[in-house]
Amino acid sequence: MTEQERDLRARLVAAGVELVTREGVNALGLREIARQAGVSHGAPRRHFPTHRELLAAIARQGFGRLTDALAGADALAASTGADARTRLEALARAYLGYAAANPGMFELMFRHDLLEGSGADLRRTTLPLFRTFADLITEVHPQCDDPTAATAALWANLHGLAQLRAWGSLRLVTGTEDITPLLRAALDAHLGPAVR
Amino acid sequence: MTEQERDLRARLVAAGVELVTREGVNALGLREIARQAGVSHGAPRRHFPTHRELLAAIARQGFGRLTDALAGADALAASTGADARTRLEALARAYLGYAAANPGMFELMFRHDLLEGSGADLRRTTLPLFRTFADLITEVHPQCDDPTAATAALWANLHGLAQLRAWGSLRLVTGTEDITPLLRAALDAHLGPAVR
DNA sequence: ATTCGCGAGTAGACACTGTCTACGCCGTGC
DNA sequence: GCACGGCGTAGACAGTGTCTACTCGCGAAT
């Protein structure tokens, strides 16, 4: 059983991932994905009742890869005996790095109009990711009275940096493509300065 | 000259604003906007060479309203003799309030795939908004060495809160629809605690 | 005053999309 | 040996954005 003969369901998702990575989210037409997978335009219907459910499956793959990237970055940082603050910085860099390296996929993942109906499932896949952040936050801020709020606020900051960079306004405002000073400012704000 | 007889260009934009406010961004088909304005589907082409340029004009209206809302909130706070920190809080609330009250418009405003080509102009319209934030930031943090980065980081935090709330993940994580604790955490992080 | 030109809106064609339906095909179980 | 059910094909259908005649009305120039 070769690559071409796997389950059509997995092949369609793989074709979609390939497409969204190479051409962006508006190249993810149902017929285009079917063409990419080498089947007729009616074939996806046997595996996904509607176009949006296929897109949701593609986005799920993206969330999986993002979670893997974050887990890998955290494991790498933890293996060097880094403290919680440094590990959080590694996580943040991994989040922004994924968004920058996969702009089309990142856009799809948070396009709730395309994922409506399966959005609840997708949102749930971010929960372990969130918990990783929350655990490190409570380690950095032991006497924080609302660690969930602090974690959500930091996550929102990272997410906003990713989105505004993708939109192009950060380069307009800062004059450079490099957002590491912005990331540093955000981390310093939420976690306190790096050196105390 | 009645409401129905104004320039078709303005009427199309008004119809689009109405549509996106009532039905969301995926109701903004070119033919649908034309129907809403009471003209044939070819009429918009005389005023907007392509569908995206019409959408960009609609989004421009949204940015204008957002800027107005922020300016109004800042003026109101300033008129009561509030300090910079309180005015920044009012601005932040106005930003999140606009995003919550006009979810469709807010989504359209940052959908760069729909606004490609006119995106640069739209981004520029956010510059005065950004300067308002930056001025207040330098007032709160006089000896900040990079106020632009601090301002961009705060803006990204607000934007991320707006987007993640629209996406629904904040409610999943915090268990409530109220994001004021998150906003407070973000403001405390970037500006320091309210009471020093 | 008549005619010319042109801006503006209409209507239809075209290629494309997502969804639905009828059909054929092939492997499995009785 | 045969019916059946799952899977992919192919066509129809309504809808979309864009493009191209076509018409109508009005202002200007002769």
Structure tokens at A21: 């990575």
Tokens of residue B141, six digits = 């943090």
Residue type, B161: L
Which residues in chain A have their CB less than 8 angstroms from residue B155's CB? Answer: 160, 164
Residue nearest to nucleotide C19 (CA to C1'): A50
Tally Cβ neighbours within 10 Å of residue B69.
17
How large is the average pLDDT for residues B1-17? Answer: 81
Select from A164, A174, A182 the Cβ nearest to the Cβ of B159: A164
Give me the pLDDT at residue B139, please.
Answer: 92
Separation CA A28–CA B154 (nearest Å): 34
Residue B118 banded pLDDT, cuts 50, 70, 90? confident
Tabulate helix, strand, coil % of chain A (nearest 5): 80, 0, 20
Candidates A52, A63, A121, A123, partner chain B, best to mutate (most B CBs within 10 A): A123
Output the CA torsion B59→B62→B67→B72 (10° steps): 170
The predicted model gives A190-196 an average pLDDT of 76
- The answer to whether B25 contacts chain A (CB < 8 Å) is yes
Q: Given this model, what pLDDT does residue B5 score?
A: 54
pLDDT tens per residue, range A79-124: 999 999 999 999 999 999 999 999 999 999 999 888 877 778 899 9
In the predicted model, what is the mean pLDDT of chain B?
Answer: 93
Per-residue model confidence (pLDDT) at position A6? 73
DSSP assignment, residue B126?
T
Least Cα distance to B45 among B11, B9, B4 occurs for B9
- DSSP 8-class letter at A49: S
For B183, name the nearest residue in chain A, comparing CA atoms only: A153
At B192, the pLDDT band (50, 70, 90 cuts) reads confident
A160-172 mean pLDDT = 95
Helices (H) and strands (E) in chain B, counts: 11, 0
A161 lies within 8 A of chain B by CB: yes
Helix spans in A7-126 (H): 8-23, 30-37, 51-79, 84-101, 103-109, 112-115, 119-125
The nucleotide whose C1' lies nearest the CA of A27 is C17
**Model pLDDT, residue A1:** 42
Q: For B30-57, write each residue's pLDDT tens digit.
A: 999 999 999 999 999 999 999 999 999 9
- Which of A114, A163, A180 to mutate against chain B (most B CBs within 10 Å)? A163
pTM of the model: 0.93
Pick from A25, A170, A182: CB nearest B113:
A25
Tens-place pLDDT, residues A20-75: 999 999 999 999 999 999 999 999 999 999 999 999 999 999 999 999 999 999 99
- CA of A31: nearest nucleotide by C1' is C17
3-state secondary structure string, B63-107?
HHHHHHHHHHHHHHHHHCCCCHHHHHHHHHHHHHHHHHHCHHHHH
The SS3 of residue B110 is: coil
| Chain mean position to CA B92 | 11
Grouping H, G, I as helix, E, B as strand and the rest as coil, residue A126 is: coil
**pLDDT at residue A2, as a whole number:** 45
The count of CB pairs under 8 A between chains A and B is 134
Distance (Å, whole) CA B97 – CA B95? 5
The answer on pLDDT for A14 being more than 90 is yes
Asked if B153's CB is within 8 angstroms of A157's CB, the reply is yes
A47 touches strand C (CB under 7 A): no
